[in-house]
Amino acid sequence: GAVVSQHPSRVICKSGTSVKIECRSLDFQATTMFWYRQFPKQSLMLMATSNEGSKATYEQGVEKDKFLINHASLTLSTLTVTSAHPEDSSFYICSARVVGLAGGREQFFGPGTRLTVL
């Protein structure tokens, strides 16, 4: 149980286009979803936190108008990279949080989406 999926797993796009990444909790309802970004040979950096039905909270230095997050339901959050540029090329990972799960393990990560902007 507690599987998180991401789609697409890999995307290549031209500079200036927008890309949407979906994050779904497949067998549970997520109260909160997190979006991380990871550049090569670096650790995961939190971009934003989103709660269903409310606006996302962005970390300092992350442009909210560039990285649009929509969390319309308890099982789906989307990240749209608008007007993507080569410097946005990265590995984007979402995680979903569920409260009250036995064993205390709360966050479940998706497999990640590799974005390459040409």
Query: Judged by CB, which is closer to another protein: 15, or 27?
Result: 27
Residue 99 lies near another protein (rule: CB under 8 A): yes
Q: Is the peptide bond before 86 cis (omega within 30 degrees of 0)?
A: no
How many other C-beta atoms lie within 10 A of the C-beta of residue 27? 10
Q: Which stretch binds another protein (CB under 8 A): 12-20, 36-44, 66-74, 79-87?
A: 36-44
In the list 46, 62, 68, 76, the residue contacting another protein (rule: CB under 8 A) is: 46
In the list 21, 24, 34, 77, the residue contacting another protein (rule: CB under 8 A) is: 34
CB 23 within 8 A of CB 111: no
Angstrom distance (rounded) from CA 31 to CA 118: 35
Residue 28 lies near another protein (rule: CB under 8 A): no
